[in-house]
Amino acid sequence: MAGSQYSFDAQVWEHHAGSWYFVSLPEDVADEIEERYAHRVGGFGSVRVHVTIGASRWSTSLFPDKSRATYVLPVKKAIRTAEELDAGSRTRVELVVAL
């Protein structure tokens, strides 16, 4: 079963600790997910999602980032390699909240 679907453009960024790469959700998308799915959050306030970037699809979790006031989506190395993404790259993100 799937929840709400969202599409947006985002820039890939590297966490200061290195080796972790993320995209930040737009504020309006993050606010809607928080409103609709706050009762379904997992550990660390995470929200399970199914993601598509380019031809790559995978399941992961969004994590709240208080310093950025949004959710962040981790983008693992296999996806970055397959889609030729690096810090600073812009990409189209499609995600579906997993129910």
pTM assigned to the model: 0.90
Tokens standing for 83?
């889609």
- Decide if 13 contacts 22 (C-beta within 8 A): yes
**Residue 80 or 39, more confident:** 80
Kindly tell me if the per-residue pLDDT of 1 is higher than 70: no
**Residue-wise pLDDT tens digits, 11-36:** 999 998 778 999 999 999 999 999 99
Q: What residue segments make up the domains of the chain, in order of their start?
A: 2-98
Q: Confidence band (pLDDT; 50, 70, 90) for 3? A: confident
Strand partners, 53: 56
Q: What is the CA angle 78-32-18, rounded to 5?
A: 30
CATH architecture of 2-98: Beta Barrel (2.40)
